[in-house]
Amino acid sequence: MRILSYNIQAAIGANSYFSYVSRLHRQVLPDPAKTGNLQRIAAYIAAFDAVCIQEIDLGGLRNGFRCQAAQLCQAAGFAHHVAQTNRVVGQLSRHGNLILCRTPCARSSAKHCPRASKGAAYLPPPPTPRTANWYWQTST
């Protein structure tokens, strides 16, 4: 089984410190470049049996209120997925994690741990502890 863990940074397309700063608007606003970035991500992850995605947007303004999980499932050809929201910032974003797999997920659960900090300085802390990891079991 080929497994991948991938932090997609909400498909902002940062590949250097400079691009992270120069593309900062993509953290808060929808941008057509995200569609191309998601397509490239989908092409890369399609070769794996299970993919664990971090920093996916599950339907906020910064992705035009479209769920990146649904976009990746369709574009990469994954029939099964489990998504978990870990922070909602008003209408701006729905930060989350995602597991994509080729076989059905028979069971999944989020394991929470105590938070060491109160979150990023510019964001309110989430109402529940952050997810540290997931456990999942395939049906085969």
pLDDT greater than 50 at residue 32: yes
Residue 60 lies in a domain: yes
Distance CA 136, CA 1 (A): 14
Contact 13, 25 (CB under 8 A): no
> What residue spans of 6-111 are helical by DSSP H?
17-22, 33-45, 68-76
Residue 140 or 33, more confident: 33
pLDDT for res 42 = 95
Residue 137 lies in a domain: no
115-120 long-range contacts (CB < 8 A, ≥24 apart) are 119/87
Number of domains in the chain: 1
pTM above 0.85, yes or no: no
pLDDT, tens digit, 9 for 90 and up, residues 75-97: 999 999 998 888 888 898 888 99
- The domain in which residue 12 lies consists of 3-107+118-129
Contact 27, 12 (CB under 8 A): yes
Residues 6+ apart with CB under 8 A from 77: 46
Residue 136 lies in a domain: no
Distance CA 95, CA 93 (A): 6
Residue 140 lies in a domain: no
Residue 18 lies in a domain: yes
